[in-house]
Every structure is written in C-alpha cells, then in structure tokens.
Amino acid sequence: MARVTEPSVDAASAAPAAAARPRRRRGFHVALGLLALLVATLLVFIWAHFGTFNPRTGRLNPSEHPLFFPVLMVHIAGSTVAIVTCVLQVWPWLRRKHLRVHRMSGRLYVFAGVYPAALASLAIVAFWPYSPLTGASDILLSFLWLGITTYGYVLIRRHRVADHRRWMLRSFALTASTLINQVLGPPLGLVLKPLLDTNFAGSTAVLDQTWSGIDGWLGWTLAFIAVEWWLEREQLRRSARR
C-alpha cells in the first residue's frame, strides 16, 4: 500500500501567506492609484490659484514684502516636484523595469524637490512668520525633511539599499503629509468655527492661526506615525517568515 505523506507544517503555513500576497499587491496598487489621484487633484487646485504668478495671490502685500512671493513660489515649485517624483519613487513596477528612470526621478526628488521646498519654507518662517504654532511645526518639519532625505541619499550612495528604502519611505511620508493637511483642514474648521465667540473671544485671526497650526502639526506627525507602523509591521512579517 502506498504511504500517504502528510504536508509539512512549513508548507501548510506557507499556503495562506502565498494566497495573501496577491491581495496585498492589489491593495497596494489601489492605494497607489488613490495617491496619484489625490496628488493630481491637489496640484490642479494649487496651480489654478498660484499659476498666474500674480504676487497679490500671496498672503502678504507685494509692495511691502517684495521677496515673499518669489520665495513662496520656490516652495510651491519644489513641493510640486517632490510630490510628483514621490509617487514615481514608490511605484514598484518603475523601480523593477526602469531602474534608470527610478534613479533620475530620485535625484530630482532630492535636489529639485525637497531641498528647495524645505529651504524656502525655513526662509518664509524666518522672515515672514504666520503664527508661533504654525512656525514651530514648519521649522521642525523642514529640518526633519532635509535630514531624513539627505541620510536616505547618503545610504544609497553607500549601496545600502534596504536602509535607503526605509529612510526614503520616511521622507516620502513627510512629502505626502500635505495631502493629509488638505483632508484634515475642512473637518477641523467644522470643529473650531463654532468656538469663535467662546474659546477665541470673537477673533478670527486667532481662530485661523490655531486652525492652521493644528492642521500643520497633525499632517506630518500622523504621516510619520503611519510610516513607522508600516515599517514595523513589515519587519514583523519578515521575522515571522524566518
């Protein structure tokens, strides 16, 4: 009589994991598509407002602050490059099939995106501050954005690909935090506006600065927490496979 062999424990546990991979891939592709859609919507909205390059669309009077609008446009242009190339960088197909394009878009992300956008943000906070709450958030975000991106670039120059990927995912989270700001802004307004005559003593200026500050802090901190959760979850999956 032929002996029936039982499947090994490893084979039995590997089957559900293999079945889960296509679901994870589909979920990632859906998330990437939504990210690209959000980025396109945000850029259309921003450039419809500032694309005329009219200094009067800025926050400050151009006759009193002639350099504010040019610095603001450097920040907007750099942020645009960063967020577009960020989508390209997290696209696995592009990295696998067109490594040269991936590398070129990575250099654009660092040198034409993050660096000018973050440095212009620091200049705006230094010379034309909006509020202490928003300014503190922008300063910390800009230094983190510069430091983490630079470290990720140094790692790939040293051919430490896995470490480079982890640190650049943190950089991408900070880049994409502006999307979270756009999503959180309207709900925060619904919560804070009814408090105008009580908590804010009827001052719309204080309300606007508080609204902007909370939105600014929440945007990048939530993005950073999310990417750390993702990296930790990924590490746990690898440990379980081993």
**What is the structure's pLDDT at 134?**
94
Q: Read off the pLDDT band of 187 (50, 70, 90).
A: very high
Same domain as 102, residue 55: yes
Say what the pLDDT of residue 23 is. 65
Of 83, 113, 128, the last residue of a domain is 128
The larger pLDDT score, comparing residue 153 to residue 45, is at 153
218 CB contacts (<8 Å, ≥6 apart)?
A: 180, 181, 184
Q: How many CB atoms lie within 10 A of CB 98?
A: 14
- The answer to whether residue 39 sits within a structural domain is yes
Residue 27: its pLDDT value, please? 67
Position 116 in a domain: yes
Same domain, 76 and 166: no
Q: Is residue 146 part of a domain?
A: no
Residue 187 covered by a domain: yes
pLDDT band at 132 (very low <50, low <70, confident <90, very high): very high
Q: Are residues 33 and 123 in the same domain?
A: yes
H or E element in which residue 133 lies: helix 132-157
The pLDDT tens digits for 99-109 are 899 999 999 99
Give yes or no: residues 166 and 233 share one domain: yes
Q: Are residues 173 and 107 in the same domain?
A: no
Instruction: Round to whole Å and give the CA distance between 169 and 156.
Output: 13
Residues 89 and 38 in one domain: yes
Pick the range with the lowest mean pLDDT from 3-17, 144-158, 164-178. 3-17
Average pLDDT on 205-215 reads 94
pLDDT per position as a tens digit, 189-209: 999 999 999 999 999 999 999
Q: How many CB atoms lie within 10 A of CB 78?
A: 21
Give the pLDDT band (50/70/90) at residue 211. very high
* Average pLDDT value for residue range 20-33: 68
Q: How many domains does the chain have?
A: 2
Q: Taking 70 as the threshold, does the pLDDT of residue 15 lie above it? A: no
Are the beta carbons of 81 and 115 closer than 8 angstroms? no
Largest CA distance in the chain: 96
Residue 58 belongs to domain spanning: 27-128
